[in-house]
Structure 1
Amino acid sequence: MQFKASIKKFWHYLLHRRDAAFLSLAFILLVAAIFKPVVPVPRNIYSYMFVVDISQSMNTKGMFWHGQEMTRLEYTKTMLHDMISTLPCGSRVSLSVFAGFTVAALYAPIEVCGNYDAIQDTLNHLEWRMAWSGNSRIRESAEAISRLLRTLPEPAQVVFFTDGEEAPHLHAFNTRDLSGFQGGNGWLVVGIGSLDAYPIPKLDEKNTIIGYWSAENFTMQPGIAQISQQNFGNRDDNVATNEDDRYPSRLDEEYLKQFSGEIHAEYVRGDSEPNVKAAMQRLKPAKRDFSPMQIDWLLGLLAIALIISAYTPQRLLHLMKRLSHRAQNFRSRKTV
Structure 2
Amino acid sequence: MNKLIRKFIHHKDLYLLLVCFILLAIALFRPTVPVKHNIYSYFMVIDITQSMNTVDMKINGKPVSRIAYTKQILRETISSLPCGTKVGLGMFSGVNVVTLYLPIDVCENFSSIQDTLDHIDWRSAWTADSRVRESMLSSARVVSNFPEPAQVVYFSDGEEAPKLHAFNTRDLSTLQNADGWLLVGIGSMQGAAIPKFTEKNQLIGYWSHESMQLAPGAAPIAAAGLLKRKRDVAESVNDRYIAKLSETSMMAMAKEIGATYVRGDNLQALLSAMRKQKPARREWTPISIDWLLGTLAGLILLFAYVPQHPLKKLKKRFSGKKQTQSSHQLSNHSPSSITLD
TM-score by length of 2: 0.80
Give 1:135 shift: 1.1
Give 1:206 shift: 2.4
Q: Deviations over 1:73-118 (max 9, x none)?
A: 1211111211222222222111111111111111111122222222
Q: Deviations over 1:272-310 (max 9, x none)?
A: 222222222222222211234455654564465456445
Maintained 8 Å contact 1:63/1:194: yes
**Cα–Cα, structure 1 residues 293 and 58, in superposed 2: closer, same or farther, change >3 Å?**
farther
Give 1:332 shift: 12
List, as ranges, runs of 4+ consecutive aligned residues in structure 1 with deviation greater than 6 Å.
317-322, 324-329
Q: What secondary structure, in the 3-state scheme, does the structure 1 residue paired with 2:35 have?
A: strand
Structure 1 match to 2:49:
55
Q: Deviations over 1:174-198 (max 9, x none)?
A: 2212233333211111111100020
Task: Extract unaligned runs of 5+ from structure 1.
Answer: 1-13
Per mean C-alpha deviation after superposition, the further-off stretch among 311-320 and 125-134 is 311-320
Q: Deviations over 1:304-329 (max 9, x none)?
A: 54564454557959967994997699
Structure 2 match to 1:224:
220
Name which one, 1 or 2, has greater alpha-carbon Rg: 2
Measured in 1, the distance between the counterparts of 2:222 and 2:124 equals: 24
Structure 2 match to 1:172:
166
Residue in structure 2 matching 1:258, options 252, 259, 270: 252
Q: Deviations over 1:132-181 (max 9, x none)?
A: 22211111111101110111000011111110000111122222122333
Measured in 2, the distance between the counterparts of 1:275 and 1:158 equals: 16
**Cα–Cα, structure 1 residues 166 and 320, in superposed 2: closer, same or farther, change >3 Å?**
closer
Measured in 1, the distance between the counterparts of 2:289 and 2:248 equals: 47
Structure 2 match to 1:10:
none
Counterpart residue identity of residue 227, structure 1:
A
Maintained 8 Å contact 1:157/1:283: yes
Task: Extract unaligned runs of 5+ from structure 2.
Answer: 1-10, 332-341
- Residue correspondences, number: 319
Residue in structure 2 matching 1:215, options 209, 213, 216: 209
Per mean C-alpha deviation after superposition, the further-off stretch among 251-260 and 19-28 is 19-28
Measured in 2, the distance between the counterparts of 1:240 and 1:299 equals: 70
Structure 2 match to 1:275:
269
Counterpart residue identity of residue 237, structure 1:
R
Counterpart residue identity of residue 50, structure 1:
M
Q: What secondary structure, in the 3-state scheme, does the structure 2 residue paired with 1:70 have?
A: strand
**Cα–Cα, structure 1 residues 179 and 68, in superposed 2: closer, same or farther, change >3 Å?**
same
Measured in 2, the distance between the counterparts of 1:313 and 1:106 equals: 65
Maintained 8 Å contact 1:26/1:307: no
TM-score by length of 1: 0.81
Maintained 8 Å contact 1:22/1:310: no
Maintained 8 Å contact 1:30/1:303: no
Give 1:223 shift: 2.9
Residue in structure 1 matching 2:243, options 249, 252, 255: 249
Counterpart residue identity of residue 241, structure 1:
E
- Compute the RMSD of aligned alpha carbons: 3.3
